[in-house]
Structure 1
């Protein structure tokens, strides 16, 4: 697998947390950052896909009216 170095400035508090986790897990900081970034990228891809699906639904008229939502909310138990 080809790799590339990416540099980022992060808050000192976050860097300190990264140091602590790295020490606790006995893993390099780069490994932890890679795991976190992979998770975030996967989450962002799923979020984007859901937004695109919702926009397609809206374009096709598959929506719920505001009045129907209000009626549903008003019917929820307190």
Structure 2
């Protein structure tokens, strides 16, 4: 069962939401729901990636700064 909440936006934000809703044939509420769902998915993915990095450090699966730069250069990435 859906739950209700209330949030206030400034006029510019509401105008942008309405523009997206009109362009996509949706509603302002649907645009907000989609934006929140996307944020929550990205945030969860970010937290998982941070945890993976922390686990790697704890397990000693790291490379030196110089080695990381060498690997990046080998991929064609230009560094300072």
User: Would the alpha carbon gap of residues 21 and 71 (structure 1) be closer, same or farther in structure 2, given more than 3 Å must change?
Assistant: closer
**Where do 1:1-78 residues align within 5 Å?**
2-72=1-71
Q: Which runs of 4+ in 1 moved over 6 A?
A: none
- Of residues 44-53 and 60-69 in structure 1, the stretch that sits farther from structure 2 once superposed is 60-69
Q: Which runs of 5+ in 1 are unaligned?
A: none
How many residues get paired?
77
Structure 2's unaligned 5+ residue stretches are none
- Deviation per residue, 1:3-42 (Å, 9 max, x gap): 1122223343221110111222232111111111111111
TM-score, structure 1 as length reference: 0.77
The normalised TM-score by structure 2 is 0.75
